[in-house]
Chains A and B, each alone.
Chain A
Amino acid sequence: MMPVTRYDVVYRTSIHYDDIVRASQNELRACPASDDHQQVVAYRTTTHPASRVLTYQDYFGTRVDTFGVREPHVLLEISAEASVETFPRALVTVSPRVAELRSPSFRDRYAEYLGRTGHTAWDDDMAEAARRVAAISGDDVVGIVLALHRFAHTSLRYTPGATYIGVDVNEVLAKAQGVCQDYAHLAVALCRSIDIPARYVSGYFFAASESTGEEVDGDVVSVQTHAWFEAAIPGWGWLALDPTNALQVGPRHITIGHGRDYDDVPPIRGVYSGGGRPNTQAGVEIRRQTAVAQQLQAQQ
């Protein structure tokens, strides 16, 4: 019998402008994915002012809600409500050797996730750090990935506001502080620098705080969107790890989507005309539906 957990997630963003905005055009990536580890039961988006939302699946398989607002406004409110069930993930049961990373068919299959991108452009120092960490784990790919994950976790101090989107990943490591996106980019860059395919994951995390990953007392948390990473293990597939919290990704993690880095899967992206400067407030409320979960389990 597979334990199932049901979460209701409400993602909200409000953007206050200090002058009237004539038009804005936006893309929202807030809908949880349906995959081997989770299933979306219900989802809807609302915008104020109202708009006609066009939905599509992007190159990486993430649901995108795109919409424009063409009436004058000083406040744009966007919300996405999802009900999703999550399942536990299997533990890795293979132990491939490093040589398997060099197989041309493996490299070609994961070609999207081997190169440098804007947020993961490692320099020689970072590759050297990755090699040092990997050397301790010898020839075992899973061991190396776990060691790099741990290294990313311990290399940064969780510091909201210390970084901004667009910061260089090498600078993040040098300054030794950041938030979940920085941890994820650092882990991705470390893996790729020694030829391990890795990708960035955007999602939600049911925890009392983004940075400690503590279990929650009640059934409701107010948090921000979260980010982690996945590394490709030869003969297995993606291994998902949360370097901010030094956790294996589990049933409290709700995936939105993945990409080469943040830019492939930002929760919200848009442009507007007029309006002066925006002040954005975003938040996520996650409610664990314990009763539903129990009923679901009883049915199985």
Chain B
Amino acid sequence: MALSGLFEGYDPGGFFDEAVTSEGAPRDHYEALVRRLEGLTPHHLAERERVRDAAFRSAGITFTVYGEGEGIERTFPMDLVPRIIPAGEWEHLEEGLIQRVTALNRFLDDLYVGDKAVIKDGIVPQWLISSSDGFQRAAHGISVPHGARCLVAGIDLVRDAEGTYRVLEDNLRNPSGVSYVLENRAAMTRVLPRVFDDHLVRPVDHYGPSLLNALRRVSPAGADPEPTVVVLTPGVFNSAYFEHAFLARQMGVELVEGRDLVVDDHVVSMRTTHGLKRVDVIYRRIDDSFLDPVVFRSDSILGVPGVMSAARAGNVTIANAVGNGVADDKAVYAYVPDIIRYYLGAEPILPNVPTYLLWDADQRRHVLDRMDELVVKPVAESGGYGMLIGPSATDAEIAAMCRRVEADPRGYIAQEVVALSRHPTLVDDHLEGRHIDLRPFVLCGDRVEVIPGGLTRVALRKGSLVVNSSQGGGSKDTWVLASPEARTSRGRP
């Protein structure tokens, strides 16, 4: 059946389209959604958008964009058309994510509290670790209960032209964005309630309790059975402060800044109106280098002097663990498939994107010749900062990147451009395909849990492959459908 209404003239454009086949028919799991959307008029849609905008304004959702002047805030736009992932596809993703994060935790434990067997056995070279900015020697010897060093991981997935899901990058330090997952869902059920009710969508609103549970599971041995958890934020000027406050509220725990915590005899306490209260687990949303001025940057006023010694003494757990940056270093990323094979003795379920390591003279020459076809990224950045997209870069930008690569080959990687899958997205009064990715959130306490779906980011500019919110992207509510068995056993929710 041809597409009509809002879908009039919709063209997959030779890309893998999430909702529509190359023949222009809705995929099975999008059938109901497509038919609903076809029935909406532009007038109807404008009204739905007003409902959405009001929902977000009242929730106060903003996202500070660096590089656009200080403190500019704007709403993080949620597209009205949700992304749908069928149960079987999600099962595959979930399995792959659990495998990857399990291996990354093992890797980090090996480096910081183990024998560095991964280096001794020649899987990863010592120099790669030594030269990683994210490798924190000050974290040596600090263990985390259950080895849950990545308590929260955000793994960025993309889908290529064949529809294969690939890992684009790992975010193991302070992955942000989960608040949008929850807020998008809350808004979506108000904006398109009937469409939502047509589907058996797996819930995401247990994220707060799940996060709190994971944090409690990593409290130090011998801590109170009802451990005290806090969220440590750098403060209101941080771009993700909204999320820090949001998560503290979701968990029902205190949101604190460094100055609210004191360390006495290697025990961390927070100042309260009733005096000091012992803290067992710190969910910190503050970078390693600012965490403790005794061992890191001595000029940091955001951190807590002595918190590292308290962690070392086993009196507090810092989550995510200090030094995770070595594992999401984009050059180390290239080794993750081998890391998975090494620790788990299994083939990676989710493949990487083809990646070139630029310290290798042959690979570098090959890359420098094809800069206009590749993506080049700095190894220690996240959020799309400092990245070059060859096909859309100017000659001057390419020349500048060549110089940076030649000066610091360890500092960059190159990747093949992935023709990211596209998804119908509302543009003015009709739908067009826009490129998307997916950041699922993985929680590790005493077990590994993936929140169904994650943050689907969409490049709102036509043709753009950059989905980062900091680079002008938007988001979509992401629906993971419950399996048919779940439908029969649980019935309608």
Contact = CB atoms under 8 A, between A and B. Distances in A.
B130 interface: yes
B293 A271 contact: yes
B127 A54 contact: no
Nearest to A111: B127
Contacts of A27: 294-295, 309
A186 to B, nearest CB: 22
A112 B137 CA distance: 11
A270 B294 contact: yes
A58 B263 contact: no
A27 B298 CA distance: 12
B131 interface: yes
B264 interface: yes
Contacts of B131: 111, 115
B140 A59 contact: yes
A66 B309 contact: yes
Interface of A: 23, 25-27, 51-52, 54, 56-60, 66, 68, 70, 107-109, 111-112, 114-115, 264, 269-271, 273
Contacts of B312: 54, 56, 66
A68 B265 contact: yes
B263 A112 contact: no
B409 to A, nearest CB: 13
Nearest to B112: A59
Interface string B309-331: 10011000000000000000000
B127 A107 contact: yes
A112 B125 CA distance: 11
A121 B331 CA distance: 23
Given A27-B295, A54-B266, A66-B266, 15 more contacts: A25-B305, A27-B309, A52-B265, A54-B309, A56-B141, A58-B141, A59-B137, A59-B138, A66-B312, A68-B266, A68-B309, A70-B264, A108-B125, A111-B125, A112-B126
Interface of B: 125-127, 129-131, 137-138, 140-141, 262-266, 293-295, 298, 305-306, 309, 312-313
Contacts of A26: 294
Nearest to B264: A70
A67 B390 CA distance: 52
Contacts of A107: 127
A68 B263 contact: yes
A243 B313 CA distance: 38
Nearest to A26: B294
27 contacts: A23-B262, A25-B305, A27-B294, A27-B295, A58-B137, A58-B138, A59-B137, A66-B266, A66-B294, A66-B306, A66-B309, A68-B264, A68-B306, A70-B265, A107-B127, A109-B126, A111-B126, A111-B131, A112-B126, A112-B130, A114-B127, A264-B137, A269-B294, A269-B298, A270-B294, A271-B293, A271-B305
Contact of A52 (B141, B266, B295): B266
Nearest to A51: B265
Given A52-B265, A271-B294, A108 B306 contact: no
Contacts of A269: 294, 298
Nearest to A270: B294
A258 to B, nearest CB: 13
A68 B312 CA distance: 14
Which 9 residue pairs are nearest across A and B when measured between Cβ atoms? Answer: A111-B127, A59-B140, A59-B137, A25-B305, A25-B306, A111-B130, A111-B126, A66-B309, A52-B265
A60 B266 contact: no
A108 B126 contact: yes
Contacts of A115: 130-131
Contact of B137 (A56, A60, A111): A60
Contacts of A66: 266, 294, 306, 309, 312
Nearest to A109: B126
A67 to B, nearest CB: 8
B60 to A, nearest CB: 34
Nearest to A264: B137
A273 B258 CA distance: 13
Nearest to B136: A59
B360 to A, nearest CB: 12
Nearest to B259: A273
A23 to B, nearest CB: 7
Contacts of A273: 305
Contacts of B126: 108-109, 111-112
A261 B345 CA distance: 39
A165 to B, nearest CB: 12
A51 B141 CA distance: 23
